[in-house]
Amino acid sequence: MSEWVMRPIIEYGFLGFSAVLLGVVIWLIQKLLGVLEANNQIIAANTDAIKDLTSTSCDLLKLNRSLHDKIISRPCIAKQEG
């Protein structure tokens, strides 16, 4: 008799627990999707910053090479005094 009474209680308990766990999993997936969206925005911002840094570095390298060429093309003053 006790098995006849306890079996539905246990089965419904597992059913309720499964429903709660399914709800928790869905909630966690929604939170994870929010975090992934924020992460994608951060990655996009970092990519833009790296592109800006690369273009600035490229411009500075061109300027540095130009200055190097100008300095090399001028005569050395130390050779004239010695």
pLDDT tens, 34-81?
A: 999 999 999 999 999 999 999 999 999 999 999 999 988 888 777 766
Is 17 in a helix, a strand, or coil? helix
pLDDT the model gives residue 81: 62
Alpha-carbon gap, residue 20 to 49, rounded angstroms: 44
Q: In this model, does residue 4 exceed pLDDT 90? A: no
Would you mind telling me the total number of residues written for the chain in this entry? 82
- 3-state SS of 24-71 is HHHHHHHHHHHHHHHHHHHHHHHHHHHHHHHHHHHHHHHHHHHHHHHH
